[in-house]
Amino acid sequence: MSGDSQPPTLKDFSERLRAARENQEDAREIRGPSRQYGLAYRVAIEMAAGLAVGAGLGWALDRWLGTRPVFLVVLALMGFAAGVLNSWRAAQQAVRAAEEEEGKGEDRRG
């Protein structure tokens, strides 16, 4: 073994740790917008799916029973309400996850 290789010091470790934390923060900033886009798509899909399923079931019931579009209107409104409720739940879940992530980040720094 050569005598010029020294074990890493605490200062070296601190510098490497600081660089790793900066890289992690940069990665979070990059990931942030894509996470928001994902939430926006999820909300839109939840609302559209609820409306489509409700309208589809209402249309099928109206055709089967031979009624005017009573079931179509009622079930489309119920489907829209279900879509809004699911979208609200998804948004609240995303807010809780962001708050937890923020809290964990503060714990590490503090």
What's the pLDDT score for residue 73?
A: 96
What's the pLDDT score for residue 70?
A: 94
Between CA 30 and CA 36, with CA 31 as vertex, the angle to 5 degrees is 115
Q: For the chain, report the end-to-end CA distance as a whole number of angstroms.
A: 41
Q: Within the chain, which residues score under 70 in pLDDT?
A: 1-7, 25-32, 105-110
Instruction: Judge contact between 18 and 54, C-beta under 8 A.
Output: no
Quick check: pTM over 0.85?
Answer: no
